[in-house]
Amino acid sequence: MRGRFGRAVLLGGLIFANAAYADVIQFSGLITQSTADGTGPAVNNPILNLILTGDPYTVTLTFTGSITPSAVPYDLTGASLVFADPAQAVTESSFDVISLTLSADGVFDDISLLACLTTGSACAGGNQLTANFQIPAAMLNSQNVTATGLDEPHPLDLLEDDGVTDIHGSIDRFSQTGGASAVPEPAPLPLLAFLSAAAALIKITHGRRHRAASDEKI
C-alpha cells in the first residue's frame, strides 16, 4: 500500500451503526500481472495460479449502511469482499479487516480500499488486497461508471503468501447500488493502530521489492 492510501489510513476509521440496508460496491478491470509473470506460485490459495494476464476480474464489496465522502476511512470489517476472475473460475474471499476511504477531490471522488487476508501472517506481513482509483463525484451512486486507476502501475494489488504472490490489475469500471443513512462511530484505537502499522510495513515491503527488481534488471 502506498502514497495516497497510506496517508488516509493513518487518519483513523469509522464503523456503521443503526443502518437498515446494504450497499454493494463493485469495480473491475484487467489483470496486468499474474503468477505466470514471475511471482508466487500461490500456496495459501493455489487456484490463484490459474489467473492469466489479460483476464477480466471483479471485486465486490457488500456492507451494511452507506458511504459519503469523509475525512477518515470507513471500517467495514465483517463485510463481504470477493475478488473474482470469472474467466478461470477463481475467487478469493478470505478477508477480515476491511477499510474503505472515500475522499472528495474536486469534481472527483478518490476511493481507496485495504482488505486484510486471514492467511499467512496476515495484513502486516503482506497478505492483503489494495485498490486505489477515482470516479466523477456526481456518479458515486451509479452503475457502470468509468473509473481511473491511481497508484500506477498497480491500482489493484492482491498480495498473498507473505507478499511472495503479487497480482496486479487495472481499474476501469465502477458501480454502486443500495444506499441508506448510517450513523458512524469512531473506530476502536487498536484497529487504528493496526491499520497504521500495516500501512507503514507494506510500504516498506513494496519499496524493497521494487528496488530488488530494479537491481536485477541492472
Section 148-164 average pLDDT:
94
For residues 111 and 85, give the distance between their C-alpha atoms in angstroms, rounded to a whole number: 21
Q: Residue 195: what pLDDT?
A: 57
pLDDT(143) > 50: yes
pLDDT(185) > 90: no
The per-residue pLDDT of the chain, averaged, comes to 81
For residues 69 and 79, give the distance between their C-alpha atoms in angstroms, rounded to a whole number: 19
Q: Residue 198: what pLDDT?
A: 55
pLDDT(25) > 70: yes
- Cα–Cα distance list, 79 to 95, 165, 187 (Å): 9, 24, 15
pLDDT digits (tens, 9 = 90+) for 92-131: 999 999 999 999 999 999 999 999 999 888 888 899 999 9
pTM, rounded to two decimals: 0.76
For residues 21 and 66, give the distance between their C-alpha atoms in angstroms, rounded to a whole number: 8
DSSP 67-80: ----SS-EE-TTSE
Q: Extract the C-alpha cell encoding 9.
A: 489510513
Section 182-195 average pLDDT:
48
Q: Residue 146: what pLDDT?
A: 98
Going by pLDDT thresholds of 50, 70 and 90, the confidence category of residue 196 is low
Beta strands in 36-194 (DSSP E): 56-64, 74-75, 80-85, 90-92, 95-105, 108-117, 128-136, 145-146, 148-149, 156-160, 165-169, 173-177, 183-186
Q: Residue 71: what pLDDT?
A: 81
CB 134 within 8 A of CB 150: yes
Higher pLDDT, 3 or 61: 61
